[in-house]
Amino acid sequence: MIPFTASPFFDFLNAFLLGFQPDAFVAGSTLCIFDILYSFDSLVYLRNNVSDWTLNEWFGPVLNITQGIAGYPSSSLVDCQ
């Protein structure tokens, strides 16, 4: 499964957000949108690493779990007020 930020649709969304400028309506909304997108991408990366898991490469899923806890989901709580 390919993450959304690695797909060409992310470029379309980014161009739309640059043109629409949601920060003019709600401050910090662009950061909030990107934090939520990157949170879903962290789940996709975790799924990919768990499906490719071997005993020698156990650190990939562990890093994705810590990224899922302390990374973008936790910053989205601050940015999405």
Domain ranges of the chain: 27-81
Which of 1-12 are b and which e, b meaning 16 or more Cβ less than 10 Å from the residue's Cβ?
eebebeeeeeee
pLDDT at 56 over 80: no
pLDDT at 7 over 90: yes
The per-residue pLDDT for 64 is: 82
| Tens-digit pLDDT profile for residues 14-29 | 999 999 999 999 988 9
* Mean pLDDT on 28-51: 88
Give the confidence band of 37 by pLDDT, cuts at 50, 70, 90.
very high
Distances (CA, A) of 13 to 20, 40, 54, 66: 10, 15, 35, 27
d(CA 57, CA 23): 41
